[in-house]
Copies of this chain bind each other. A is one copy, B any other.
Amino acid sequence: MARAIDVPDLIARARQGQAAAVARLISLVEDDSPALPEVSAALAPHTGRAHIVGLTGSPGVGKSTSTSALVAELRRRGKRVAVLAIDPSSPFSGGALLGDRVRMSEHDTDPDVFIRSMASRGHLGGLAGAAPQALRVLDAAGCEVVLVETVGVGQSEVEVAGVADTTLVLLAPGMGDGIQAAKAGILEIGDIFVINKADRDGATTTRRELRTMVGMRAADDSWTPPIVLTVATKGEGAEEVVDEITNHGDHLRSSGELTKRRVARARREIEALALASVQRRLGEFGAGVQELAVQVEAGALDPFAAANQLLGASS
């Protein structure tokens, strides 16, 4: 039998900033715990304060190092920070993964930095279903800035933008990254572009190419995405990136865009949860659907009627 969870106590302790309570709540999200609706309801009044910043970019551009440099700069400004690394391809809890992230270890003993990785593969709602819940935990726990990055590659690179207020797109000189960015659709989602490893050849060419491509975005956009050059391993440029994050946050609030983005995000989350709930119920009704399939095969029932019976019986 599952250990009973004292949700109000957990949430009270998380709101006091106790890392163990925050970690436990995120594990509940990761495990798709039956306690989640109660957790979610209790968190709701305490959310909406954190600035959610998504980091996206191809492997090799220096995402982890950049994240670490941004954490250092945000701490210098006295901000409480969280890092949420989402691994959409892994069914395992990601504790081990942080072993690789050597450069993050400098923040390990800082009580005002919460670092956590999370698997989303097993989650019925996928990244879109799991990430917003974990973010809400970190938000309620008083984290002022939450950096979200995905581990690995693919579609999820774009998906992460869907859960963020501000999206940073990281590139590196050369490698035809400009073209790659255009192909992957990350040009459209970038609020701030960062060209990391800017001490390498080709950084200015990449910036020029990128500026042209960004210039072709919708002209009625009231925000022109800045392009910042960084050398994350040396912390160079981190200050400017954090300035731009702050600028973008101010722009989101003054333009009304923040609420618009967050409502759209809530809507996607509600729909993902609703569909996941239906899929779960259909799955639990396994024996029933098999029985219906036998009747359809025999011509005694048609598939539409069977689908209706399935929905009726499982609701």
Q: CB-CB < 8 A to A294: which residues of B?
A: 263, 266
| Apart from A41-B302, A132-B303: 14 A-B pairs, beta carbons within 8 A | A41-B304, A133-B303, A262-B297, A263-B297, A264-B293, A266-B292, A266-B294, A270-B306, A270-B307, A273-B306, A274-B311, A275-B278, A275-B279, A278-B278
Within 8 A of B (CB), among A260-277: 262-267, 269-271, 273-275, 277
Q: CB-CB < 8 A to A20: which residues of B?
A: none
Q: Looking at the complex, which one of B40, B46, B311 makes contact with A278 (CB distance below 8 Å)? A: B311
Q: CB-CB < 8 A to A298: which residues of B?
A: 48
What's the number of copies of this chain in the assembled complex? 2
Query: A22-64 toward B: CB 8 Å interface, digit per residue (1/0)?
Result: 0000000000000011001101111110000000000000000
Within 8 A of B (CB), among A299-315: 299-308, 310-311, 315
The verdict on A229 contacting chain B, using a C-beta distance below 8 Å, is no
Q: CB-CB < 8 A to A259: which residues of B?
A: 297
> Do the beta carbons of B45 and A304 come within 8 Å of each other?
no
The verdict on A282 contacting chain B, using a C-beta distance below 8 Å, is yes
The verdict on A290 contacting chain B, using a C-beta distance below 8 Å, is yes
A262 to B41, CA, bound (A): 44
Q: CB-CB < 8 A to A305: which residues of B?
A: 37, 40-41
